[in-house]
Amino acid sequence: MQDLARATWRKSSRSTDQGQCVELAQNLPQVSGIRDSKAPEQCALVFSKRRFANFIAAVKAGELDR
């Protein structure tokens, strides 16, 4: 399991005051973390930097649109 104690979490600048968003930590050397902002004490998803970059590229390219 990845130690996320030193993670710096941030919300999207587009998130609303309703608190329904995710938080992202990219300050760790080899991984990116994602967690639910409403339940930060629960588990976070952890991806390698490469996998996360591939995911973001696929989202931007519309590859995951329905």
Q: pLDDT per residue over 2-27, tens digit each? A: 788 999 999 887 777 776 788 999 99
Q: Does the predicted model carry a pTM greater than 0.95? A: no
Residue 10 to residues 23, 34, 40, 63, 64: CA-CA distances in angstroms?
5, 10, 11, 25, 24
Q: pLDDT per residue over 22-56, tens digit each? A: 899 999 999 999 999 888 889 899 999 999 999 99
Residue 34: closest CA among 18, 52, 50: 52
Mean pLDDT of the chain: 89
For residues 37 and 59, what is the distance between their CA atoms, to the nearest angstrom? Answer: 21
Residue 60 confidence (pLDDT): 95
Say which residue, 19 or 65, is predicted with more confidence: 65
